Amino acid sequence: MITLTGLTKRYGPTLAVNNLSFEVRPGRVTGFLGPNGAGKSTTMRMVLGLDRPSAGEVTVHGRRYRDLREPLREIGALLDARAIHPRRSARDHLRALAHSNGIPLARVDDVLELVGLAKVADRRAGGFSLGMGQRLGIAGALLGDPGIVMFDEPVNGLDPDGIRWVRELMRTLAGEGRTVFVSSHLMSEMEDTADHLVVIGRGKLVVDAPIEEVIGASAHTRVRVRTPQAARLAELLAAKATVHRESDTALLVAGLDADAVGDIAHAAGIGLHELTLKEASLEQAYLELSQEHLDYDGTQRRPHPGLAATKEARP
Ligand SMILES: Nc1ncnc2c1ncn2[C@@H]1O[C@H](COP(=O)(O)OP(=O)(O)OP(=O)(O)O)[C@@H](O)[C@H]1O
């Protein structure tokens, strides 16, 4: 578990991270989203003790990173895949890391195999493609078999095969009960990968919620209902939802879930011929969130309807 409490970072006049509080929990993939410059990398650097918070704190398994005795065994991270000595081979790079963290050298071959670099392990990392570099960075993160992994934009620049591989790896790691924290500025990358989303904008928390909740709260998520008594049902629903008459017998309802629409129809003795949920894409939900929460200058306006997860919105 990673725990942030009032985490804040100022760079001169820039408030890069603004009073962030949330937990990253085990057994699921938590997507960390926000536009470029939102403060994701700065937050991740503070998790690893590479940047000192201006206020607040962040702990890994309840301890600050610098107090961890064998950090690579607790948390493995890929922050910048280029941060590798170009003249060292992949194997030597990982051996040096293993040595300095008291990890048996045999583990180096295991992770090289795991990330698909075994055949090129003795080539200089400087000649690696972007994708190979990302794989080597991920190998380094997994070296200590840590319970927590943190990846900053891991699929940046990868081809479709590489992207699929990283996604499957993250799902596998979460399935093994590990904490997986992964950043991206693209919502579409998270759609099939994340279970939970933390969205920030201009350093501030916008949403901390399960992915289904984010999609469910979108105005683009609607219930399609068909009934011979559409006009009567529309009247009943109008008090609680936005109702669009698709045809004489079909309605599109926003603001209520399918169960609620079905219950209201049933209570009024209205027979239904169709009741279908039409989910928004994560991309649509994200765009709405960005527009609703952030003015162009980044100030927060109001919480997202239906999402009680924004800290300020909590009672
Ligand atoms: N070392 C630094 N000195 C001064 N300002 C910085 C420094 N590092 C980051 N910033 C500023 O802090 C803000 C947050 O940057 P950060 O890199 O954390 O965002 P990000 O969400 O990771 O964006 P990206 O997706 O572009 O990597 C930006 O305004 C950035 O210019």
Distance CA(78)–CA(182), nearest Å, equals 9
Q: 112-126, 236-250, 280-294 — which is least confidently predicted?
A: 280-294
In this predicted structure, what is the pLDDT of residue 314? 33
CA of 42 to the centre of ligand 1 (A): 6
Task: Note whether 58 and 129 are same-domain residues.
Answer: yes
Last residue of a domain, one of 215, 236, 264: 215
Q: If DSSP codes are grouped into helix, strand and coil, which group holds residue 153?
A: coil
Is 23 domain-assigned? yes
For residue 162, the number of C-alpha atoms closer than 13 Å in the C-beta half-sphere is: 17
In this predicted structure, what is the pLDDT of residue 294? 52
Helix crossing, 106-114 with 130-142: angle to 10°? 130
Last residue of a domain, one of 215, 232, 261: 215
Q: What is the ipTM of this complex?
A: 0.94
CA dihedral 213, 218, 219, 225 (to 10 degrees): -50
Atom of ligand 1 nearest to the CA of 39: 18
Share of the chain above pLDDT 90, in %: 60
CA of 61 to the centre of ligand 1 (A): 26
Is 79 domain-assigned? yes
- Residues 63-102 have pLDDT tens digits of 999 999 889 999 999 997 666 777 888 999 999 999 988 8
Distance CA(207)–CA(308), nearest Å, equals 9
Please give the order of strands across the beta sheet that includes 14-24.
Answer: 14-24, 2-11, 55-60
- DSSP letter, residue 281: P
Task: Note whether 260 and 166 are same-domain residues.
Answer: no
User: Where are the strands (E) in 36-152, listed by range?
Assistant: 55-60, 75-78, 148-152
**Test site for ligand 1: of 8, 20, 41, 190, most ligand atoms within 8 A of the Cβ:** 41
Residue nearest to atom 9 of ligand 1 (CA): 42
Atom of ligand 1 nearest to the CA of 185: 25
Is 55 domain-assigned? yes
In this predicted structure, what is the pLDDT of residue 293? 58
Is 289 domain-assigned? no
CA of 266 to the centre of ligand 1 (A): 53
Domain count, the chain: 2
- Residues 225-256 have pLDDT tens digits of 999 999 999 999 998 989 999 999 999 998 88
Please give the structure tokens belonging to residue 245: 């008459």
**Test site for ligand 1: of 40, 151, 187, most ligand atoms within 8 A of the Cβ:** 40
Is 290 domain-assigned? no
Atom of ligand 1 nearest to the CA of 41: 22
Distance CA(3)–CA(56), nearest Å, equals 11
CA of 50 to the centre of ligand 1 (A): 14
Residues with CB under 6 A from ligand 1: 11, 14, 16, 34, 36-42, 185
Task: Note whether 246 and 103 are same-domain residues.
Answer: no
Contact in structure between 121 and 112 (CB atoms under 8 Å): yes
Task: Note whether 155 and 242 are same-domain residues.
Answer: no
User: Where are the strands (E) in the chain, listed by range?
Assistant: 2-11, 14-24, 28-33, 55-60, 75-78, 148-152, 179-184, 196-201, 204-210, 222-226, 242-245, 250-254, 274-278
Rounded mean pLDDT, 107-120 = 93
CA of 267 to the centre of ligand 1 (A): 54
Residues in the chain, total:
315
- CATH code of the domain covering residue 152: 3.40.50.300
CA of 165 to the centre of ligand 1 (A): 28
Is 305 domain-assigned? no
Task: Note whether 203 and 245 are same-domain residues.
Answer: no
Task: Note whether 176 and 119 are same-domain residues.
Answer: yes
Bridge partners of 184, per DSSP, are 33
pLDDT surpasses 60 at 54? yes
In this predicted structure, what is the pLDDT of residue 57? 96
Question: What are residue 259's phi and psi, to 5 degrees?
Answer: -60, -45
Residue nearest to atom 30 of ligand 1 (CA): 37
Task: Note whether 210 and 226 are same-domain residues.
Answer: no
How distant, in Å, are the alpha carbons of 47, 59, 65, 178 from that of 62?
A: 12, 5, 9, 16
Task: Note whether 178 and 226 are same-domain residues.
Answer: no
Residue nearest to atom 6 of ligand 1 (CA): 11
Give the domain range for residue 260: 222-278
Is 287 domain-assigned? no
- CATH code of the domain covering residue 259: 3.30.70
Is 292 domain-assigned? no
Task: Note whether 152 and 230 are same-domain residues.
Answer: no
Last residue of a domain, one of 162, 187, 215: 215
Residue nearest to atom 5 of ligand 1 (CA): 11
pLDDT surpasses 90 at 44? yes
- Residues 189-208 have pLDDT tens digits of 788 899 999 999 889 998 99
Distance CA(54)–CA(122), nearest Å, equals 42
Distance CA(75)–CA(178), nearest Å, equals 10
pLDDT surpasses 70 at 309? no
Task: Note whether 114 and 228 are same-domain residues.
Answer: no
Task: Note whether 108 and 134 are same-domain residues.
Answer: yes
CA 298 to chain centre: 20
Model confidence, pTM? 0.81
Task: Note whether 76 and 120 are same-domain residues.
Answer: yes
